[in-house]
Structure 1
Amino acid sequence: MTQSPASHASTITKPTIYLEDLSVGDQFNSGEHAMDEAQITAFAAQFDPQPFHLDDAAARDTLFGGLAASGWHTAAVTMRLQVTSGLPIAGGIIGAGGELTWPRPTRPTYVLHVVSEVIQIQPSKSKPDRGMVTVRSETRNQHGDVLQLTTVRIVVPRRPVAGGAGA
């Protein structure tokens, strides 16, 4: 199952995907989000006030060599893209843990999108109404460079059975 990108998604897509709808190898592509200096510095001022996130001139003398978004900002944008256009999971994207890396900095001129792939599906043995799905996502810029890599486990509900009975 491949979902096509939505351009500049601004509303939350109605969740429609249940555990039974997923297969290992399914891919999902999000819409896009254009970063800019104002967003980067505003996020940094509130949540990660380090010079390389706040001021381009100060950032030039760091290992970043120029203004870079906080990794947490990239993560927040990634989540927004996943929720609004990337992973239409019934009940929302409920995380149960994972791994996160930032191989490259996010710059003010980048347009981000997320490419996700289902890598494991495990129906719950103790809770028949759900399962755990492992998803690997790459947040990329307009050039295809990977800026963030996540592998997360999410809780995905099974499709409700007609009449309200459990699965």
Structure 2
Amino acid sequence: MTTGYFEDVVVGTVLEFGSKTVSKEEIIHFATKYDPQPFHIDEEAAQASPYGGIIASGWHTAGMAMRMMVDNMINDRVGLGSPGWDNLKWHLPVRPDDTLRVRTEVIRKKRSASKPMIGTIFGSMKVLNQHDQIVMSVETIGMVKARTIGEAEQNR
């Protein structure tokens, strides 16, 4: 989770961005290919499910959030990928015509002891719908390049 080099990232920074309206056709297309459970792809089955209609796959929601992060936040000059995300939770279903956005906060950062030109940024990401309801949350971990290997920047 970065907008710059390790030294540029400030703990406590909150960013909000993106706007993605998801269509029923997009939900069905994604789910047909990757998560073909009936409540994602079949109108009748979805109506009879506890959700009362078609909903997006949680993986589709995560994918849309990732795209918004890449488009609005991740700097390809300094981003080095991620070893994973922790505590991924889907709080509410995403429905056709929902409009999603992302809110991130930098929780902490740590310079690598073994590779001091690499820093790790730990964050909190929430995906919200047009009603300001959290539909997904996750603890993010992102690796970024550092400009220097100075001690002063280590835990800023």
Establish whether TM, by shorter chain, passes 0.5: yes
Residue 46 of structure 2, aligned match among 56, 59, 67: 59
Residue 150 of structure 1, aligned match among 107, 127, 138: 138
Count of matched residue positions in the alignment of Structure 1 and Structure 2: 147
Q: Which runs of 5+ in 1 are unaligned?
A: 1-14, 162-167
> Secondary structure, in 3 states, of the residue corresponding to 1:139?
strand
Q: Residues 2-151 of structure 1: matches in 2 within 5 Å?
A: 17-88=4-75, 90-92=77-79, 94-99=81-86, 100-151=88-139
* Structure-1-length-normalised TM-score: 0.82
Whether contact under 8 Å (1:95, 1:153) holds in the other structure is yes
Whether contact under 8 Å (1:44, 1:54) holds in the other structure is yes
Which amino acid in 1 is paired with 2:118?
R
More helix by share: 2
Identity among equivalent pairs (%):
36
Whether contact under 8 Å (2:4, 2:78) holds in the other structure is no
Which amino acid in 2 is paired with 1:63?
P
Whether contact under 8 Å (1:135, 1:151) holds in the other structure is yes
Q: CA RMSD in A?
A: 1.8
Which amino acid in 2 is paired with 1:140?
L
Cα distance in structure 2, aligned partners of 1:88 and 1:142: 27
Cα distance in structure 2, aligned partners of 1:122 and 1:144: 31
> Secondary structure, in 3 states, of the residue corresponding to 1:135?
strand
Cα distance in structure 2, aligned partners of 1:16 and 1:101: 25
Whether contact under 8 Å (2:3, 2:9) holds in the other structure is no
The verdict on how the C-alpha distance between 1:112 and 1:93 changes in structure 2, with shifts beyond 3 A counting, is: farther
Whether contact under 8 Å (1:137, 1:149) holds in the other structure is yes
* Structure-2-length-normalised TM-score: 0.87
Which amino acid in 1 is paired with 2:85?
G
Query: Which stretches of structure 1, 4 residues or longer, exceed 2 Å deviation after superposition?
Result: 86-93
